[in-house]
Amino acid sequence: MSTGPSQAEIPAGVTLPIYMDNHATTPLDPRVLEAMMPYLTTKFGNAASRNHSFGWEAEQAVDAAREQVAKLIGATAKEIIFTSGATESDNLALKGIAEMYRERGNHIITQVTEHKAVLDTCKRLEKSGCRVTYLPVKADGTIDLEDLRRAIDDKTILVSIMAANNEIGVLQPVREIGKICHERGVLFHTDAVQAVGKVPLNVIDDCVDVASISAHKIYGPKGVGALYVRRRNPRVQIAAQIDGGGHERGMRSGTLNVPGIVGLGKACELAQENLLQEASRTQCLRDRLKTKLEAELDYVHVNGSMEHRLPGNLNMSFVYVEGESLLMGINDVAVSSGSACTSATLEPSYVLKALGLGDDVAHSSIRFGLGRFNTEAEVDYVAAKVIQVVRHLRELSPLYEMVKDGVDLTKVQWAAH
């Protein structure tokens, strides 16, 4: 009787546990921490204090960070509004535009695979009288641009489509979407959290009017983000959702998180300096992992487009294996499964369901998120460990055995409970 998989060899230079969940959060880059430290200690001023050097110093640091963030996305410093993170940025964009433009219309278009920060905000807006269209996605995870064209009507004020999906890493055709919106006089918001710093994004060339950014997805600190708000052609107006003091051009009041903002700025600067090299390196690691898994395992497939995809994302289904069981088997590797992504339930991911995957395939999926600090040795260890655990779990699976014996599971008459 099998007693379970034997331990995979731990290669030299690999320390367990291994972190491969970089879409959930990234480790803080030591250079970012170094930039932040003075503002956590001796340079502790409030950026809104205009009467002394402590305040001026903080304000200068915030201004420098605004430039760094703007530069990464091709914006100007005055178009960057600092927030507490991507969820707040998404809320501010959607609610702020819906409120400001309600005389013009009440129709918003988004897609079914958006992050919950956009979907739940849309649900809230529907309760207050907005009409929301949720576009389907094709089997590769991208939207059909013709669906978007058809959905726009004379009451449409906003289209919100994410640049890169947080689960399957699929890149939407942002520039084409932006052009369609601008042709029709509709504002375009993109949740650019997973894309910024990983793939090139230029808000002018891509016709983006509003974009959400988060520091902790690009090796910066948690609890700080930004919203890009276009100032010309067209000038975008957003109604504040937090009042009190008129900070951030009146769009977002509250004492600025100076150390966090400095960290976000530094993270953006580092991302810009190394964007193409880092994307190429991460993609090589991702492809190495994919090749090794596909070479040793049958009934595995990648979810979402491989062509239009974040360099560090691999979302893969290991059919006839429960994702949760696989996670438990590889408990020295931090990854996430295709179920329980957004809650404590074991519902399969709504993103994978939207691609048309059955529950069984969706339940068997694992998201690997490779990043700046992962190494080839780690990839090799993770591949070996996953292969070992999948084989072991399939040994215990009657379904896998039946399929190997040539049984068509779709034709099996299962006895009722």
Report the alpha-carbon distance of residue 54 to residue 43 in Å, rounded: 7
Percent of the chain whose predicted confidence (pLDDT) is above 70: 95
Give the amino acid at 341. C
pLDDT at 9: 74
pTM: 0.95
Instruction: Tell me which of 3.40.640.10, 1.20.58.60, 3.60.70.12, 3.40.1280.10 is the CATH number of domain 30-271.
Output: 3.40.640.10
Q: Is 181 a catalytic residue?
A: no
pLDDT at 339: 59
Residue 345 pLDDT level (bands cut at 50, 70, 90): low
Longest dimension (CA), the chain: 80
The residues facing 315 across adjacent strands are: 367
pLDDT at 326: 95
| Mean pLDDT, residues 321-346 | 80
Catalytic, out of 130, 207, 268, 341: 341
Tens digits of per-residue pLDDT, 86-136?
999 999 999 999 999 999 999 999 999 999 999 999 999 999 999 999 999
Please, which residues have CB within 8 angstroms of residue 140's CB and are 6 or more apart in sequence? 170, 304, 305, 308, 355
pLDDT at 6: 56
Residue 343 pLDDT level (bands cut at 50, 70, 90): very low
| Mean pLDDT, residues 152-178 | 98
Report the alpha-carbon distance of residue 68 to residue 198 in Å, rounded: 16
Residue 1 pLDDT level (bands cut at 50, 70, 90): very low
- Domain residue limits, the chain: 18-27+274-406, 30-271
pLDDT of 273 strictly over 90 = yes
Instruction: Tell me which of 3.90.1150.10, 3.30.70.360, 3.40.50.1100, 3.60.15.10 is the CATH number of domain 18-27+274-406.
Output: 3.90.1150.10
pLDDT of 341 strictly over 50 = no
pLDDT of 2 strictly over 50 = no
